[in-house]
Amino acid sequence: MATFPMTRRGAEKLKVELHDLKTVQRPWVINAIAEARAQGDLSENADYDAAKDRQGFIEGRIQEIEGKLSAAQIIDPADVDAGGRVVFGATVELEDEDTGTKVKYQIVGEDEADLKQGLINVSSPIARAMIGKEEGDTVVVQTPSGEKHYEVIDVQYI
């Protein structure tokens, strides 16, 4: 089975969601199904259909999270010593060579990515372009509007 990288924060987030699904959502939907069954004819019972659909979603999500956690390679960025190179988990400050605009991103796993928080997926074009670069290097990213050039200002493992 192939493993995929995930930060410790991302794994904890999935564990919290899994706990909620198993201890809160699953019992709630089982109760909702029981209540709908008590109403009688199931063939025309919208509450029963909705509860069964919700149950299917919850069980599917539980299986998905358990599968991801079992195949995850959990990496704590603070424990990484890559000698200043950009690697998974690194927080990288970039400067747009055209505009001088600075941005800061942390390279994280697929489930953790949130651009608004500066968390980018390791398989995104900009993350792939940054991997292996060091402070002072130029990162070239192919965008729909053409190539963008960034200078790596800082690399941290936090």
- Contact between 125 and 107 under an 8 Å Cβ cutoff? The reply is no
Give me the mean pLDDT over the 105-129 stretch: 95
The structure tokens 């259909």 sit at: 49
Question: Which one, of 99, 96, 87, lies nearest residue 5 by Cα?
Answer: 87
Decide if pLDDT at 20 tops 70: yes
Give the integer Cα–Cα distance in Å for 127 and 110: 12
Domain limit, last residue, from 74, 93, 119:
74
Q: Output the average pLDDT for the chain.
A: 93
If asked whether residues 122 and 144 sit together in one domain, one would say yes
Question: Which one, of 150, 153, 141, 148, lies nearest residue 90 by Cα?
Answer: 153
Decide if pLDDT at 107 tops 90: yes
146-156 vs 102-108, strand pairing mode = unpaired
By residue range, what is the domain housing residue 106?
77-156
**53-70 tens-digit pLDDT:** 999 999 999 999 999 999
Q: Which pLDDT score is estimated for 1?
A: 61
If asked whether residues 95 and 150 sit together in one domain, one would say yes
**24-36 tens-digit pLDDT:** 999 999 999 999 8
If asked whether residues 86 and 136 sit together in one domain, one would say yes
If asked whether residues 85 and 140 sit together in one domain, one would say yes
Decide if pLDDT at 128 tops 70: yes
If asked whether residues 15 and 70 sit together in one domain, one would say yes
If asked whether residues 48 and 118 sit together in one domain, one would say no
If asked whether residues 64 and 107 sit together in one domain, one would say no
What is the number of domains present in the chain? 2
If asked whether residues 124 and 145 sit together in one domain, one would say yes
Give the integer Cα–Cα distance in Å for 7 and 73: 8
Domain limit, last residue, from 54, 74, 94:
74
Domain limit, last residue, from 27, 49, 74:
74
**71-81 tens-digit pLDDT:** 999 999 989 88
If asked whether residues 86 and 126 sit together in one domain, one would say yes
